[in-house]
Structure 1
């Protein structure tokens, strides 16, 4: 008997009760599949896509256009209109979100049309595609920042957060995602396990070494150990909130808090916070290592970059004045 005929015969012999059970089970399976689709994207990606889609839907409602499925001219006009206010990089993300929404709903993406491609090419040519990257916090900045931290446990935490984030060239999500059990002390320093990152959504994980610093005040190993000891953290999130009474809470820090700590520390040290964010720690280590002459491979091992091309952007920034020919012509 063929599989198709067997399935047909089984459906005919199923009782109403069994059929209802199978239908309910099928709905449960569908809900589980939807949950896995949601899990396929990082939380920050999901937030960005929701924001993008809200903006596009609102624009479509304003002009009485259908957002899903959207006609190619709707997307083209949306790009032309929003390009007056948004950066090219933001528009590019909006395009990707619109395309993703259509594919998820089973529609062909209007972003593939010639009309949309031509408008997008014109915007890129007119506005340019260069991105405004966050400024790096170099070693000189880090030294000043940790000298002006607040008193008490908050300062102890922020010192550990800044120094570990810098020495590990970590993304903010990686930094706040570390648990106490992900950190192991060795004779050479700390071994930190990064269980999930932006480029490792399936959680293969990676380990990186954090060596002892030359100076006690800026040593990331001593800073982390001091925080763990004084906050009495044995398990759970490594970096946690500290309330206004100086008590350590059980809640994990949000990734936005890292940016707040970076900016607050820069201002306290007498610098402007403009152009700096959580990513400045990661960019800072990469840039400083390039200035010190570290190899691309060694820097990539620490930063966890999958692409050398992306990482070399920071290396180029760090090499602008090293062996610069303009400094050798006698000006």
Structure 2
């Protein structure tokens, strides 16, 4: 249950950060866990590690790496005496020298969605329960297009789309209702129902 207090993605990110910290410390003959008092990597070494990272890594990565190392060392009962004021000064200097522009992904626009629909449109016609042109290929095309349209209309994350089950879906007079059991903004799984209104006149509403 203690492990479940962190999301799966956070645990994966913390694990990657800890491996990077461990490799870096071992390169200097240091103990990353702090258990060996004669060669323990302390907070000064963490600052040097983050400084080395700042040459190639983004500000968000540096913040994550620091949080991971501090959290894991605390769990190991070998906490680091991190000076928050000094670290804030370090971040301020980093922003001045590197900038802190966030990395944003390009948005999927309606023309892109229409182009994708042309590629994913299955062969027309039905043969029993199988789509013409190959049951497997046809079903995959329908599934992929449904996921793409649903994600676009509902603004869902990839993880949310992947977690949907048929039990999460219901129809209303106005369209589709999806139950989101868990999302990045709802780590405690209160859940929420998201409605997607039908647009009968649209070529993308299938």
Shorter chain as denominator, the TM-score bin is: 0.7 to 0.9
**Equivalent residue for 1:159?**
145
Q: Does 1:181 align with 2:181?
A: no
- Tell me the distance in 2 between the aligned counterparts of 1:159 and 1:217: 13
Root mean square deviation of aligned Cα? 1.8
Larger RCO of the pair (alpha carbons < 8 Å, separation 6+): 1
**Equivalent residue for 1:171?**
157
**Equivalent residue for 1:208?**
194
Query: Whose radius of gyration is greater, 1 or 2?
Result: 1
- Tell me the distance in 1 between the aligned counterparts of 2:201 and 2:62: 45
- Tell me the distance in 2 between the aligned counterparts of 1:112 and 1:162: 46
**Secondary structure of the structure 2 residue equivalent to 1:148:** helix
Give ranges in structure 2 of 5+ residues lacking alignment.
35-40, 123-137
Normalising to structure 2: TM-score of the pair? 0.82
Q: Does the CA contact (< 8 Å) of 1:76 and 1:115 recur in 2?
A: no
Normalising to structure 1: TM-score of the pair? 0.52
**Equivalent residue for 2:182?**
196
Alignment partner of 1:63 out of 28, 37, 47: 28
**Secondary structure of the structure 1 residue equivalent to 2:196:** strand
The worse-fitting range, judged by mean Cα deviation, of 160-169 and 150-159 is 150-159
**Secondary structure of the structure 2 residue equivalent to 1:135:** coil
Alignment partner of 1:143 out of 103, 114, 137: 114
Q: How many residues align?
A: 185
- Tell me the distance in 1 between the aligned counterparts of 2:180 and 2:106: 24
Q: Does the CA contact (< 8 Å) of 1:73 and 1:115 recur in 2?
A: no
**Equivalent residue for 1:82?**
53
- Tell me the distance in 1 between the aligned counterparts of 2:182 and 2:66: 27
- Tell me the distance in 1 between the aligned counterparts of 2:47 and 2:16: 19
